[in-house]
């Protein structure tokens, strides 16, 4: 991978290499775009096979956060950080404090948060070195805490918006919804769906998680490989990415695809296939933005009611995506990208015009 060539192609702003010999820190901070505001994105800790693999992951995820934050209507740019290491064996307080000093050195251009392989306790250690961190523990309610219930609520509102587009009514009563994966987010989602009277079909590689959903919601359990072909109105992928591919789309019977998983499309062409089949697809980074909306609220002093009202806007944002898709006859994934890109472009034009006006005023003096 030619790093600078890749960064130029996708218009990245910055890549920061972080190294601290004493703590064993080896990390990368990628900042994609700060047009709308400081770059907000989580800190991932993973056993990468190489430095280039870690860099590629950081860059890819940072660009994804630009689109997610823009589509969610947040005044934030996109960034991401990764630490090379086993989160079960390689963590130590010095490592996260060293990382915190690197975040602090960026003076607010990047704001970090919890992600795969990191926890609230890790954010607390980072917070000892910088204020540019969200998701810390706070007894006074100034932190949003666990974002999964908020993410689940956003998915629920997104499913309702998708149902309205597909069926003309957002009621989920009597609708059969196949939920792939019933972890923390999906279990809370199932609770919302069950309360509205939806019929649930669930699967997970974790049998205990499946049994929990069956007992709590009267859900019907199926084997993981069978979830794609069940008779259902809505398919909700809430586990692995790339589950929307040639094999699954050939047997999928749902009229709606809406779930919490990241990177649901195996390739861009699968978004085209979904569009051609007339299936309503809620782009993943739009419908699962509840978590980032929740942590973003911490930046202005966390207020749960305000955060939840912002999460409810996912409903209207998706309706806008569907409208763009219909009017331009393009896949919803492309419609979401265009919506995010337009918001960034408008801000850039506004900023450039302001600078141009300021230059004219100064030149006349």
80 is catalytic: yes
Which candidate in 80, 157, 199, 310 is catalytic? 80
Which two structure tokens, joined as six digits, stand for 78? 């996109």
Spatial CA neighbour of 257 closest among 344, 34, 311, 273: 273
| Strand pairing category for 199-203 and 176-180 | parallel
CA 281 from chain center: how many Å? 16
- Asked if 168 contacts 225 with a C-beta cutoff of 8 angstroms, the reply is no
- In SS3 terms, the chain reads as CCHHHHHHHCCCCEEEEEEECCCCEEEEEEEEECCCCCEECCEEEECCCCHHHHHHHHHHHHHHHHHHHHHCCCCCEEEEEEEECCCCCCCCHHHHHHHHHHHHHCCCCEEECECCCCCHHHHHHHHCCCCCECCCCCCCCCCCCCCHHHHHHHHHHHHHHHHHHHHCCCCCCCCEEEEECCCHHHHHHHHHHHHCCCEEEEECCCHHHHHHHHHHHCCEECCHHHCCCCCCCEEEECCCCCCECHHHHCCCCCCEECCCCCCCECCHHHHHHHHHHCCEECCHHHHCCHHHHHHHHHHHCCCHHHHHHHHHCHHHHHHHHHHHHHHHCCCHHHHHHHHHHHHHHHHHHHHHHHHHHHHHHHHHC
- Under 8 Å CB-to-CB from 20, ≥6 apart: which residues? 94, 95, 98
Catalytically active residues are: 80
């Amino acid at each position: 991978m030619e790093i600078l060539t890749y960064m130029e192609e996708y218009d990245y702003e910055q890549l920061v290499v972080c190294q601290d010999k004493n703590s064993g820190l080896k990390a990368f901070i990628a900042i994609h775009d700060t047009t709308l505001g400081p770059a907000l994105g989580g800190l991932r800790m993973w056993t990468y096979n190489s430095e280039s693999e870690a860099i590629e992951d950081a860059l890819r995820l940072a660009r994804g956060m630009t689109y997610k934050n823009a589509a969610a209507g947040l005044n934030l740019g996109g960034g991401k950080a990764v630490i090379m290491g086993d989160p079960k064996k390689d963590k130590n307080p010095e490592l996260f404090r060293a990382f915190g000093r690197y975040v602090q050195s960026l003076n607010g251009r990047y704001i970090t948060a919890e992600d795969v392989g990191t926890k609230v306790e890790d954010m607390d250690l980072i917070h000892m070195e910088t204020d540019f961190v969200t998701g810390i523990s706070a007894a006074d309610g100034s932190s949003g805490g666990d974002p999964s219930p908020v993410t689940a609520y956003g998915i629920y509102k997104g499913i309702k918006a998708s149902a309205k587009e597909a069926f003309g009514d957002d009621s989920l009563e009597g609708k059969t919804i196949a939920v792939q994966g019933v972890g923390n987010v999906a279990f809370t989602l199932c609770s919302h769906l069950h309360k509205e009277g939806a019929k649930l079909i669930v699967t997970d590689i974790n049998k205990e998680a499946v049994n929990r959903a069956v007992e709590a919601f009267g859900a019907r359990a199926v084997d993981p490989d069978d979830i794609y072909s069940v008779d259902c109105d809505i398919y909700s992928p809430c586990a692995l990415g790339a589950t929307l591919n040639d094999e699954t789309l050939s047997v999928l019977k749902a009229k709606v695809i809406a779930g919490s998983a990241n990177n649901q499309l195996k390739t861009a062409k699968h978004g085209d296939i979904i569009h051609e089949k007339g299936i309503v697809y809620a782009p993943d980074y739009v419908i699962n933005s509840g978590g980032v909306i929740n942590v973003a609220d911490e930046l202005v002093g966390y207020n749960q009611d305000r955060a939840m009202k912002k999460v409810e806007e996912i409903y209207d944002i998706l309706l806008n995506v569907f409208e763009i898709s219909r009017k331009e006859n393009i896949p919803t994934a492309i419609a979401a990208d265009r919506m995010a890109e337009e918001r960034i472009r408008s801000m850039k034009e506004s900023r450039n015009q302001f600078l141009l006006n300021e230059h004219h005023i100064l030149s006349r003096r």
